[in-house]
Amino acid sequence: MSGQIVVAVDGSKPATAALEWAADDARRREAALRIVHVREPWAHEYPFHAVEGFAQSYSEFCEGVLAAAAARARELAPGLEVTTELAEGTVVETLRAASAAADALVVGSRGMGGFSGLVLGSVGLGLTGHAEVPVVVVRKPHRDEYHEVVVGFDGSPHSEAALQFAFEEARARRGRVHAVYAWEMPMVSPFAVGYGLALQEIFDNECRAARLRLAPWRDKHPDVPLVESAVCGHPVPALAEASLVADLVVVGSRGLGGVRGALIGSVSHAVLHRAHCPVAVVRPRDGLS
């Protein structure tokens, strides 16, 4: 493999977790790692040295964040090609532009300015809705490896893009893809004649549909094991449960039920808040929305 992984850093704990995940991912993919820190225009040369406890200008602080991040990445992955960039602008738009040609953009769930009670900050949410490349949101430091990548699949173009990214990640990890295909049962009267038989028939049909939709992916990626789970219920709880024993959960930015024009669908948004491992949000490369 080759390419580039971009990671955003700001010195916060979630950003450090994102850096460590990105360095590991770049090593697995045999890709370069580009570390970006964005200096917002309003903070230009703020005199931190005038505040008790700060002996650096803001520029020096930013450069220190990048230097520390690069050192940590090289420590975790010796031999990894690491570059740094100090950019200036609004954070979301600057990171979106900086990652336009990358394989993925990795961010922490919250930055230094985030509120402690929030699971996902405005930068992470903004990037998952606007970036053209897969955005991986990392909340916690690296955990034990499970060699499994979970992906939500419903047959939509966005879930097809998510499935492709899931296979790439699973191959890099020498693991398997676990495709979760969930649907909600149509509302019918529980007293209808043959209700139980109808439910079983619907379940069997949905399982068959899942296998048929995933069959071409088995043929396309014969070297990566693929297992599927057909779940009768809302996809969010199913994906959250699967994330307990996964290295990564991958979702499309929107699914078949998404509102046209929405930047990120309700399922993707909920998974970002409820998953127990890093989450990648993927949109089709051709810009479908």
Q: Which domains does the chain have, with CATH numbers?
A: 4-138 (3.40.50.620), 148-282 (3.40.50.12370)
Q: Is the pLDDT of residue 147 over 90?
A: yes
- Binned at pLDDT 50, 70 and 90, residue 27 comes out as very high
Least confident range from 68-77, 197-206, 207-216, 244-253: namely 197-206
pLDDT per residue as tens digits for the range 29-74? 999 999 999 988 765 555 555 555 454 577 888 899 999 999 999 9
The span from the CA of 28 to the CA of 23, in Å, is: 9
pLDDT per residue as tens digits for the range 13-24? 999 999 999 999
Question: Can you give the pLDDT at residue 148?
Answer: 98
In this predicted model, which residue has the larger pLDDT, 271 or 123? 271
Strands 279-282 and 135-138: antiparallel
Q: How far is CA 159 from CA 47, 95, 253, in A?
A: 47, 24, 8
Q: Is the pLDDT of residue 132 over 70?
A: yes
pLDDT per residue as tens digits for the range 86-125? 999 999 999 999 999 999 999 998 755 544 444 567 888 8
Question: Can you give the pLDDT at residue 210?
Answer: 82
Are residues 196 and 243 in contact, defined by beta-carbon separation less than 8 angstroms? no
Residue type, 138: V
Sign of CA dihedral 127, 107, 286, 87: positive
Residues 252-269: what's their mean pLDDT?
62
The residue among 247, 280, 275 whose CA lies nearest residue 28 is 247
Q: Is the pLDDT of residue 192 over 80?
A: no
Instruction: Using DSSP, state whether 238 is helix, strand or coil.
Output: helix
Residue type, 1: M
Question: Can you give the pLDDT at residue 114?
Answer: 45
The span from the CA of 196 to the CA of 200, in Å, is: 6
Total-model pTM: 0.86
The span from the CA of 169 to the CA of 29, in Å, is: 8
Across the beta sheet with 148-152, what order do the strands follow?
Answer: 82-88, 32-39, 4-8, 104-108, 135-138, 279-282, 248-252, 148-152, 176-183, 226-232
Residues 233-260: what's their mean pLDDT?
82
Are residues 226 and 217 in contact, defined by beta-carbon separation less than 8 angstroms? yes
CB-count exposure of residue 231 (10 Å: 0-12, 13-18, 19+): buried
Q: Is the pLDDT of residue 248 over 90?
A: yes
